[in-house]
Amino acid sequence: MSARDTILAKVRRSLAVSGDEAARRAAVAERLSDAKAGVIPARGQLPQDERIALFSKYAEKYGATIARVASIEDLPQEVSRYLKSSNLPASVRMGDDVLLKSAGFEREPMLTVLSGASDGTDLAGVSHARGAVAESGTLVLASGPDNPVTINFLPEHHIVAVRAEDIGASLEEAFAGIAATYGKGEMPRTVNFVTGPSRSGDIEQKIIMGAHGPRALHIVIVG
Amino acid sequence: MQITTPNFKENATRALNDAPLQKALKNVEIGFIAKRLAAVDALPEFEQLRDNARDIKNHTLAHLDLYLEEYEKKVIASGGHVHFAETAEDARAIILDICRKRNAKTVTKGKSMITEEIGLNDFFEKNGITPVETDLGEYIIQLRGETPSHIIAPAVHLNKDQVEADFRRVHTHLPADRDLTEHEALLNEARLVLRQRYFEADVGITGANFLVAETGSSVIVTNEGNGDLTQTLGKCHVVVASLEKLVPTLNDCSQILRVLARSATGQDMSVYTTFSTGPKRAEDPDGPEEYHVVLLDNGRTAMLGTEFQEMLRCIRCGACMNHCPVYHAVGGHAYGAVYPGPMGAVLTPSLSGIEVGGHLPNASTFCGRCESVCPMRIPLPKMMRHWREREFEKHLTPTAARYGLKFWAFFARRPKLYRAAVSVAMPLLSWLGGSSRRIHSLPLADGWTKHREMPAPEGKTFLQAWAEKQAREAGR
Ligand code: SF4
């Protein structure tokens, strides 16, 4: 018997089941297809303006900085401003994201835009978060050619654009959005839920920012 | 790892006399308790979420065979591989085989208790593969040749100056006169040293906080980002996880995520909660080419259907040890097992056998704080009692304790005699306590009084005091 079959047989023996019980199979099939939501905290269930305020409050609590711009065309200027104020060279790395491409970075002639995955030499990267979670100040980033995962972790500074209308109340809303894009039960290779910049408390439980991931997270709310 | 569990008493004595350890252990109380409480108080739905988290895991465990099948199907459909391992030895062999096929020389590792459980690092070294721990705490203890003393803060037993000394000893390529006095400097140095290692690695190994049957995803929850770099930059991502990490759906996962970070570190969410599904897709510019999941049993299937099944709900948040007075006093290494604290006291005898781990359930004051903070509502004290009973039945309890219990049982069954005996003992103990009302040394109980004082009784038995109180009140 394979290890797989032995383990399944052991589980069944311990649970005193055969695995063929129709009721058990139905319970599992229903659970997976319904995928019901449980308790969703009330604190995120707010009208859009207050929801954005709550998102910003938590993101800042966890060490992110926040800017808000009226439209995506304002993003390049905000990126330049952020780089300058952080004493960084005018260069960023980003993927092929449609929203980011529509921002018109060529209107910032001093700013170099490198595309594709990061090789670890970039000081700043720009991503587009497909959503955000107000209840905890969390960004939701999906991997792919439009937003390579390495940009979320390797650059020292991570600048993330998120559209105001994509800031949802809860984790459940974020998952519903992913299912709407990729199909029920399907996921992109990587989904990163990001709440503030990287940190470690491993030496004497003192929290220090910038462990292995970005030292700074700058969120630009668009709209 | 070398299990030294049967030596808990000696280990604990050593720990109590270890001044740097005692200093470091203060950080457990300072670092975790208040933060957890603040996060819990800020979420009115927390108790309801605990109930749901418990019910989700109970449902999953009751249907574990079927969820394993569903999960496996989804992983395969997303291009990944699932390997089942009955024992630690099987898991090591499977992982080595994956590494050999890729000619791996260096393996990076995200923080994973399960790879501690199977002793993976030693095994790699014996087989010519260099394991590189990338979590700061794990990296530090790897340099020291130690094991984690806490399941989420592996180096909590150390002080800053000890870490500095280790970095100076190992990072000899850096200028000797560099300043490492601040925490920031130590963190930056580790970041710099480890950065290169991620790119050199042939294989990246992580654990999993959850495995999601609905999507075939593995989930890791971290604050540093090292686990993400490990699983993104390695050409091959290997997830090592035990069977009970399964949850049915993403929505179920959300319920448990809400209690996990709050119970562990007092954050609403950890910095990085990452869902990985299969290897990189054809169009992806980054990510691993291969994705493997090694599912470990190692004693878990034998816990199902027994009084220890509930322990399989554990999500390894660490809250039980953060709130445990025994852990605060002796730290994690004294337990001499992979998993310390209350959760370890229940799990170790299950995984390693009562002969090895049977002492640990005695390392408890039964104060009940662990159960009161456990997000999964695991009745830890009850399960420790189960183990104590089993240990007693097997006659593994030390002779003194057995006689003590028999002695007490003799009197307890004879109330008149019991009352007569304690009414003699109480004034005697009171006299021993003297004016400070503390007893510093007690014959036959020096194990108790060596490191703590026993409060001296008032000189009357409870029954005498009660009778007097009743009389006083009747007289009013
Ligand atoms: S037993 Fe409970 S409190 Fe302890 S680590 Fe597991 S889930 Fe957390």
**Domain harbouring A96, CATH code:** 3.40.50.10420
Given an 8 Å threshold on Cβ–Cβ distance, is A204 in contact with B285?
A: no
d(CA B204, CA B290): 10
pLDDT score recorded for residue B411: 54
Given an 8 Å threshold on Cβ–Cβ distance, is A148 in contact with B286?
A: yes
- Number of Cβ pairs < 8 A linking chain A and chain B: 269
Given an 8 Å threshold on Cβ–Cβ distance, is A145 in contact with B283?
A: yes
Instruction: State the CB neighbour count (10 A cutoff) for residue B462.
Output: 11
d(CA B302, CA A11): 8
According to DSSP, the β-strands at A157-163 and A216-222 are parallel
- Domain around A19: 1-36
CB burial of B69-90 (b: ≥16 within 10 Å; e: otherwise) equals: bbbbebbeebbbbbbbbbebeb
Sheet holding A216-222, edge to edge: A65-69, A216-222, A157-163, A124-128, A91-94, A112-115
Q: Which amino acid makes up residue B325? A: P
Cβ-nearest to B30 among A27, A191, A205: A205
Tell whether domain B43-298 is in CATH 3.40.50.10420: yes
d(CA B379, CA A1): 36
d(CA B116, CA B99): 18
Q: Give the range among A154-158, B39-43, B110-114, B436-440 with minimum mean pLDDT.
A: B436-440
Indicate the number of domains in chain A. Answer: 2
Using left for φ > 0, alpha for ψ between -120 and 50, and beta otherwise, residue B464 falls in alpha
Same domain, A55 and A105: yes
Same domain, A65 and A157: yes
* pLDDT tops 80 at residue A24: yes
Q: Which atom of ligand 1 is nearest to the CA of B151?
A: 5
Q: Greater confidence, B439 or A81? A: A81
Instruction: State the CB neighbour count (10 A cutoff) for residue A20.
Output: 8
pLDDT score recorded for residue A191: 98
Please calculate the CA angle A13-A17-A21 and round it to the nearest 5 degrees: 155
The CA distances from residue B41 to A145, B38, B401, B428, in Å, are: 41, 5, 42, 47
Which positions 147-186 of A are in contact with B (Cβ < 8 Å)?
148-150, 152-154, 170-172, 175, 185-186
Given an 8 Å threshold on Cβ–Cβ distance, is A191 in contact with B274?
A: yes
What's the gap in Å between B422 CA and the centre of ligand 1?
Answer: 40
CB of B318 sitting under 6 A from ligand 1: yes
Given an 8 Å threshold on Cβ–Cβ distance, is B267 in contact with A202?
A: no
According to DSSP, the β-strands at A131-133 and B438-439 are unpaired
Nearest CA in chain B to A191: B275
Same domain, A111 and A192: yes
Q: DSSP H helical segments within A62-192, as ranges?
A: 75-85, 98-101, 149-153, 171-182
CB of B320 sitting under 6 A from ligand 1: yes
Choose among B455, B262, B85: nearest CA to A58.
B262
Rounded to the nearest 5°, which phi and psi values hold at B317? -85, -25
Enter the tokens of residue A94. Answer: 């980003």
Distance, in angstroms, between B45 CA and closest chain A CA? 6
Q: How confident is the model at residue B468 (pLDDT cuts 50, 70, 90)?
A: confident
Q: How confident is the model at residue B7 (pLDDT cuts 50, 70, 90)?
A: confident
Question: Average pLDDT in the B175-192 region?
Answer: 95
Distance, in angstroms, between A79 CA and closest chain B CA? 23
pLDDT score recorded for residue A6: 98
Whether A31 contacts B71, CB under 8 Å = no
What's the gap in Å between B235 CA and the centre of ligand 1?
Answer: 33
pLDDT score recorded for residue B359: 76
Given an 8 Å threshold on Cβ–Cβ distance, is A201 in contact with B265?
A: yes
Rounded to the nearest 5°, which phi and psi values hold at A199? -155, 165
CB of B261 sitting under 6 A from ligand 1: no
- Write the pLDDT tens digit of every residue in B10-38: 889 999 999 999 999 988 888 899 999 99
pLDDT score recorded for residue B423: 61
**List of residues 6+ apart from A147 with CB closer than 8 A:** A95, A97, A127, A128, A141
CB of B376 sitting under 6 A from ligand 1: yes
* pLDDT tops 80 at residue B472: no
- Write the pLDDT tens digit of every residue in B454-466: 555 566 666 676 6
- Write the pLDDT tens digit of every residue in B226-255: 999 999 998 999 999 999 999 999 999 999
Q: How confident is the model at residue B352 (pLDDT cuts 50, 70, 90)?
A: confident
Question: Average pLDDT in the B406-435 region?
Answer: 58
Q: How confident is the model at residue B353 (pLDDT cuts 50, 70, 90)?
A: confident
Nearest CA in chain B to A175: B250
**List of residues 6+ apart from A23 with CB closer than 8 A:** none
**List of residues 6+ apart from A12 with CB closer than 8 A:** A18, A19, B65
d(CA A135, CA A163): 17
Whether B268 contacts A43, CB under 8 Å = no
Choose among A105, A119, A107, A86: nearest CA to A215.
A86
Given an 8 Å threshold on Cβ–Cβ distance, is B228 in contact with A188?
A: no
d(CA B380, CA B319): 12
* pLDDT tops 90 at residue B136: yes
Question: Average pLDDT in the B201-221 region?
Answer: 97
- Write the pLDDT tens digit of every residue in A31-56: 999 999 999 999 999 999 999 999 99
* pLDDT tops 60 at residue B405: no
The CA distances from residue A105 to A86, A94, B333, in Å, are: 19, 11, 55
Question: Average pLDDT in the B150-166 region?
Answer: 94
Enter the tokens of residue B114. Answer: 């399960």
Q: Which atom of ligand 1 is nearest to the CA of B316?
A: 5
Enter the tokens of residue A107. Answer: 């209107």
Same domain, A142 and A186: yes
Given an 8 Å threshold on Cβ–Cβ distance, is B228 in contact with A15?
A: no
Name the residue of B32, B315, B327, B348 whose CB sits within 8 Å of the most ligand 1 atoms, as the mutation to test its pocket.
Answer: B315
pLDDT score recorded for residue B426: 59
Q: Which atom of ligand 1 is nearest to the CA of B315?
A: 7
Query: Which residues sit opposite A157 in a β-bridge?
Result: A124, A216
The boundaries of every CATH 3.40.50.10420 domain in chain B are: 43-298
Q: How confident is the model at residue B1 (pLDDT cuts 50, 70, 90)?
A: very low
CB burial of A100-123 (b: ≥16 within 10 Å; e: otherwise) equals: bbebebeebeebebeeebbeeebe
Q: Which residues of B touch A11 (CB under 8 A)?
A: 64-65, 68, 243, 301, 304
Nearest CA in chain B to A11: B301
The length of chain A in residues reads: 223
| Sole residue written with tokens 């190994």 | B205
CB of B378 sitting under 6 A from ligand 1: yes
Q: Which residues of B touch A160 (CB under 8 A)?
A: none
Cβ-nearest to A205 among B156, B303, B304: B156
- What's the pTM? 0.89
The CA distances from residue B331 to A20, B17, B214, B245, B470, in Å, are: 47, 12, 39, 26, 45
> What ipTM was reported for this prediction?
0.98
Enter the tokens of residue B132. Answer: 């590189």
Same domain, A28 and A53: no
| Sole residue written with tokens 């470091």 | B24
What's the gap in Å between A106 CA and the centre of ligand 1?
Answer: 52
d(CA B220, CA A173): 20
Question: Average pLDDT in the B346-362 region?
Answer: 83
Given an 8 Å threshold on Cβ–Cβ distance, is B250 in contact with A192?
A: no
Query: Which residues sit opposite A67 in a β-bridge?
Result: A220
